[in-house]
Amino acid sequence: MSGTAQIGVTGLAVMGRNLARNFARNGFTVAVHNRTASKTRALVDEFGDEGAFVAAESAAEFVAALERPRRLVIMVKAGEPTDAVIEEFAPLLEEGDVIIDGGNAHFADTRRRERELRERGIHFVGVGISGGEEGALHGPSIMPGGSAESYESLGPLLERIAAKAPDGAPCVTHIGPDGAGHFVKMVHNGIEYADMQLIAEAYHLLRSVAGYSPAKIAETFRSWNTGRLDSYLIEITAEVLAHTDEATGKPFVDIVTDQAEQKGTGRWTVQIALDLGVPVSGIAEAVFARSLSGHAALREASRTLPGPTTAPLGEADAARFADQVEQALYASKIVSYTQGFHQIQAGSEEYGWDIDLGSVAAIWRAGCIIRAAFLDRIRGAFDTRPDLPSLLSDKQFAEEIGAAQDDWRAVVAAAVHQGVPTPGFAAALAYYDALRAERLPAALTQGQRDFFGAHTYRRTDREGSFHTLWGGDRSEVSTS
């Protein structure tokens, strides 16, 4: 078998199969391989008319089918399965060849693998791929890390298969060295968690406070999707809410168990944010909300706890409240993206990646789950000011969130008054208020820490670190 394939894909579950088909549909000859050979044959038998495939039953055949430098995409489960596939194929490769991990790997694993394979002369590229199985087939948002040299070889292929933004630009860019691509994909998924939680809270408020039916809320979301909230998640939310269960005739949302699952990337985002010292409270609340929903026994035991007595609003008041919820949703969404981009910025500084935040926003404009119209404005904000400390420092976003704040506060207050949990809206508002506060109660916290642990504090009127001798005369001593 001669090396005729420009790219190879091993691991032909749904994502791997669709990615291989995407490459073939875009004119590349694709070598395909799976541990179970029948999956390889099935792909070629079913989709062979879509392009040029080279089926390989063994690792040696697969590697032999690839032209130099070999580009080999691994699409298997993250963790040990990925390591096992790397160890199977790496001995068959030569200096300058490229292994690409397209799974949802933890960026720390990607950094380790890149370092180990670099010592063997092999490039390792951790690629975040967003868009699900449809995106893999029709065009995902792609976030590759790795060396600049590896992107020279791989980039033209990825640019061909990636989603195209409204201006025609491919939604892929070289994010940065080693684990940068998987780090950015992790944060993307964290923002996705927050976005979904905020949308769910908006639905809950419209149903519980405004008294809207799921069908009416679907109409509301469709209306919102024609404006500044235009996004994939708003679009599919309207579809889900409008769907009627065929078996019962009830709204689909009413026959689904209210216990949300998660695969782990949201937790990773929060864990790494804690390590970096970056506040991502909106993402954290979204992760915790899913976790709480799954504690069915705890919720059942707590169901008789007292709460407020409420009644749905009248038609005019409900319409006004819906407008306020739109304001609160938009403002909270800005905060979620602000926190996510802050985490990317902090990770870039910590690991020396030099990530271009404007380019990240640009490749999220199409293909990925959080694609939204306002990402083009986020790109513009970072392109205009690459040193922008926060999205809330951008004049236009600051003006919009300022205009929304009264309605935002009214919604959070109504939620508290009516007993509707809105941890996402409330956390976003608290973050906004904390940023704009002239003084925070952290001064008291530092005093407490110094009292019980002699942890010291800094003063506002002179340099240095100080400790108060809290017993006796409570005199102050300098510790620096």
Catalytic residues, by residue number, are 185, 192
CA 404, CA 202: separation in Å to the nearest integer? 15
CA 18, CA 47: separation in Å to the nearest integer? 10
The three-state secondary structure class of 42 is helix
**Residue 357 burial (CB < 10 Å; 0-12/13-18/19+)?**
buried
Beta-strand relationship, 123-130 and 465-468: unpaired
CA 378, CA 357: separation in Å to the nearest integer? 9
CA 222, CA 226: separation in Å to the nearest integer? 7
CA 124, CA 82: separation in Å to the nearest integer? 12
CA 347, CA 339: separation in Å to the nearest integer? 12
The three-state secondary structure class of 450 is helix
Question: Which tokens in the block code for residue 283?
Answer: 């993402």
* Closest listed residue to residue 363, CA positions, set 352, 374, 375, 355: 375
* Closest listed residue to residue 310, CA positions, set 168, 211, 215: 211
**Residue 133 burial (CB < 10 Å; 0-12/13-18/19+)?**
middle
CA 341, CA 361: separation in Å to the nearest integer? 9
Q: What is the DSSP letter of 269?
A: H
Render 286-329 in DSSP notation, one character per residue: HHHHHHHHT-HHHHHHHTTS------PPPHHHHHHHHHHHHHHH
